[in-house]
């Protein structure tokens, strides 16, 4: 039989162990609570009162419009003045009285932290750079909501013009639009005081002014870095079909992720097709263009509206198409830098050499070396042959059509 002393000893041991585990659990819970509090209250951005906004951001803020001015300009943000919506807000057309300046007023949803973050990012990022191919930010207002005021672009977005009225865009105009966006990215990546990664380069964020020049806008997702600073990991953000494959693994925004998005825009402008369109060949636009290139039939990708503009024009269109394909190469180190792209579009440099894509192992190593070592599950996606590898990579970037 078990003695009474042994039983008491076992009970005491159980009590001690219970108290010990309870204490450890309490300490862990308190530590976690303090970490969450610290992260929310200290590390995350604070959303300030209107007076605090002026004090903290006074060095960067453009003109502050009054609520009354913007109400008059947009007829109290009338639905009749609504230009469109997207991202985290709606855009309304207006005219500032008495100056007569035409404006586009973006009303950002302030019911979520993400909407407020976009307001902060756009207000403090786009106000600094000034370039002929960026949408000018004229001012802001926070009286009854989060409002950003831009110069109105008379021809709307490239997305609307390209897919709703493509017959109005000649090849010279399309090339000028592509070159303008490239010039804007060169400015943001290399010529600003701080490097700016846009993170959402796409046709709907490219506006067209009165002369049909392209103006890159919507800096709500933009990231700023010092020119000699390596980008840190951040949340994956952007428009799915335009995102570079490595961004899903590294969670880093770089010049090369912007280049990848830019190549989608190139292919859309030249082919006249949306990137998400399911093609007759039942493959992605990029795979379709690659197949045509391999078969020396890349001219078949040209928008039929452009095909009658002459051989010299067609040669330049083919060059731009090849530049778009090269800019989408899986290895970001192979993609041309934006300066080389600008020089090629301006005719000051030849088209960079197109790397070979002949083996699945080379494609796997291209992405792996630029990202990090994948888990076995990720690695299993890259198998069999070049086509399956290419499609697997494109799947991460949201480029695949239905299969």
Cα-Cα-Cα-Cα torsion 222, 226, 228, 233, nearest 10 degrees, comes to -50
Looking at 200, 209, 218, 303, which residue is catalytic?
200
Measure CA of the first residue to CA of the last residue in the chain; give whole Å. 73
Give the orientation angle of helix 386-396 with respect to helix 285-294, to 10 degrees: 150
Helix (H) or strand (E) run with residue 102 in it: strand 101-108
What burial class does residue 207 get, using C-beta atoms within 10 Å of its C-beta: 0-12 exposed, 13-18 middle, 19+ buried?
buried
Query: Can 200 be counted among the known catalytic residues?
Result: yes
106 annotated to bind ligand: yes
What's the rounded Cα separation, in Å, for the pair 375 and 366?
16
DSSP class of residue 143?
Answer: S
Query: Per the structure block, which two tokens stand in for 13?
Result: 């041991």
Q: Which of 271, 274, 277 is nearest to 289 (CA)?
A: 271
Length of the chain: 403
Identify the three-state secondary structure at position 7.
helix
Which residue is associated with the tokens 């604070």? 46
Query: Per the structure block, which two tokens stand in for 288?
Result: 């379709």
DSSP calls for 161-223 = HHHHSGGG--HHHHHHHHHHHHHHHHIIIIISSSEEE-S---GGGEEE-TT--EEE---TT-E
Identify the three-state secondary structure at position 235.
coil
What's the rounded Cα separation, in Å, for the pair 314 and 212?
21
Residues marked active site are found at 200
Binding-site positions for ATP: 106
Binding-site positions: 106
């Amino acid at each position: 039989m078990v003695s009474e002393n042994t039983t008491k000893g076992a009970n005491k041991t159980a009590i001690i162990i219970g108290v010990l585990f309870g204490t450890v659990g309490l300490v862990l819970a308190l530590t976690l609570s303090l970490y969450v509090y610290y992260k929310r209250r200290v590390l995350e951005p604070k959303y300030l009162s209107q007076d605090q906004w002026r004090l903290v951001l006074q060095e960067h803020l453009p003109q502050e419009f009054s609520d009354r001015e913007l109400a008059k300009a947009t007829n109290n943000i009338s639905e009749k003045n609504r230009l469109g919506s997207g991202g985290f807000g709606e855009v309304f057309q207006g005219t500032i009285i008495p100056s007569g300046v035409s404006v586009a007023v973006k009303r950002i949803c302030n019911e979520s932290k993400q909407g407020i973050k976009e307001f902060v990012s756009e207000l403090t990022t786009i106000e600094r750079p000034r370039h002929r191919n960026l949408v000018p930010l004229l001012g802001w207002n926070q009286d009854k909501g989060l409002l950003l005021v831009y110069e109105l672009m008379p021809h709307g977005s490239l997305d609307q013009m390209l897919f709703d009225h493509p017959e109005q865009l000649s090849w010279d105009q399309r090339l000028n639009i592509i070159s303008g966006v490239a010039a804007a990215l060169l400015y943001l990546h290399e010529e600003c005081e701080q490097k700016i990664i846009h993170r959402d380069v796409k046709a709907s964020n490219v506006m067209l002014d009165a002369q049909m020049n392209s103006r890159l806008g919507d800096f709500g997702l933009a990231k700023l870095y010092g020119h000699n600073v390596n980008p840190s990991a951040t949340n994956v953000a952007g428009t799915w079909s335009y995102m570079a494959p490595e961004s899903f693994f590294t969670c880093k925004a770089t010049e090369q992720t912007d280049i990848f998005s830019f190549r989608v825009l190139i292919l859309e402008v030249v082919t006249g097709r949306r990137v998400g369109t399911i093609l007759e060949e039942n493959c992605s636009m990029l795979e379709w263009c690659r197949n045509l290139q391999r078969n020396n039939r890349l001219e078949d990708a040209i928008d039929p509206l452009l095909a009658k503009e002459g051989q010299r024009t067609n040669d330049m269109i083919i060059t731009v198409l090849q530049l778009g394909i090269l800019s989408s190469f899986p290895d970001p180190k192979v993609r041309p830098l934006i300066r080389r792209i600008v020089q090629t579009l301006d005719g000051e440099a030849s088209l960079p050499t197109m790397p070979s894509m002949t083996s699945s192992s080379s494609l796997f190593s291209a992405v792996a070396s630029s990202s990090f070592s994948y888990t076995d599950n990720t690695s299993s996606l890259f198998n069999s042959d070049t086509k399956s590898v290419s499609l697997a990579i494109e799947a991460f970037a949201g480029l695949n059509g239905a299969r």
